[in-house]
Amino acid sequence: MASLGLSEADRGAIQRFDADVIQPSKASLVVLQFTAEWCGPCKQLSPILDKVANDYAAKGVKLVRIDVDKEKMIAAQFRIQSIPTVYAFYQGQPVADLTSYRSEGQIGRVLDQLLAQLQVSGEGAALEAEIEPLIAMGEEILAGGDPARAESIFRQILDMAPDNPEVIGGLARALVAGGRNDDARAVLDAAPDSAAKAPPVARARAALDLASAAPAGATAELEARVQGNPDDHDARLELAAALIAAGERDRAADVLLESIARDKDWNEGAARKRLLQLIEAQGLDDPWGRAQRRRLSALLFT
């Protein structure tokens, strides 16, 4: 916008526009809404834009409003004839007219298209790239048998990304591995709704449920009960839980699969449910888990 021959007030308006719209648009997709206090349709649209902007903030979307009565010079520059008028700005230029989109779904879809076309990453993507190697480090240390150190790493990452499901799940599993089931349950119960049903959190809940079901003591007595009565499914279920607690997942899976082979419907499929829980606790993409799923399918469907 040219500033030669403008009043001090107009110069101030241009400076504000540059600070609020142009400069942020160099890194973000700025949604610019022209509005006014007296505009009824504006008041209907504004909450929708607020919701979408909040949902897309981590993807690099920023919402700015300009009151056409207070910033008449800016409105005139854009030749605003009616309101609400909504534009999307990127790299200092208007890239889309969003005025005709009035629902959350419509606006979300067009923002998805713009973000993909313009390759806007946003702060969320930058943070994800930063914490990804830290999460991998925590997982490696946890798998290596040092839950205390893994807990420390996951807690540090949690300060950076408190809503990240992988971090929440990793911390909970580290606490379970350290024998701190109550602390793990508190972490999982505190997970935000956006993360509560995510696979990493579900995996941690499965690990916690398995640890909570583990009986105390050695497995010798349970093994003797199973040998004495191969159809003692209660003993098999307890034995599997004890083997899981001892880190013997192969033997635990064998015990559960044998129970399923003998009576897959016993106690409403309790052995099958426990096996699926064990598989989920290992991670759904884990090769061992996939192998056990194939073994289970072979029993159930042949």
Give me 205's structure tokens. Answer: 């809940």
Q: Is 42 assigned a catalytic role?
A: yes
Catalytic residue (one of 13, 14, 39, 45):
39
Rg (CA), the chain: 28
Q: Confirm if 254 and 232 have CB atoms less than 8 A apart.
A: no
Catalytic residue (one of 14, 30, 31, 42):
42
Q: How many CB atoms lie within 10 A of CB 239?
A: 24
Burial class (CB in 10 A: 0-12, 13-18, 19+), 7: exposed
- Written as one string, the DSSP assignment of the chain is ---TT--HHHHHHHHHHIIIIITGGGTSEEEEEEE-TT-HHHHHHHHHHHHHHHHTGGGTEEEEEEETTT-HHHHHHTT--SSSEEEEEETTEEEEE-TT--SHHHHHHHHHHHHHHHT--HHHHHHHHHHHHHHHHHHHHHHTT-HHHHHHHHHHHHHH-TT-HHHHHHHHHHHHHTT-HHHHHHHHHTS-HHHHTSHHHHHHHHHHHHHHHPPSS-SHHHHHHHHH-TT-HHHHHHHHHHHHHTT-HHHHHHHHHHHHHH-TTGGGTHHHHHHHHHHHHH-TT-HHHHHHHHHHHHHH--
Q: Is 151 assigned a catalytic role?
A: no
Give catalytic residue positions.
Answer: 39, 42
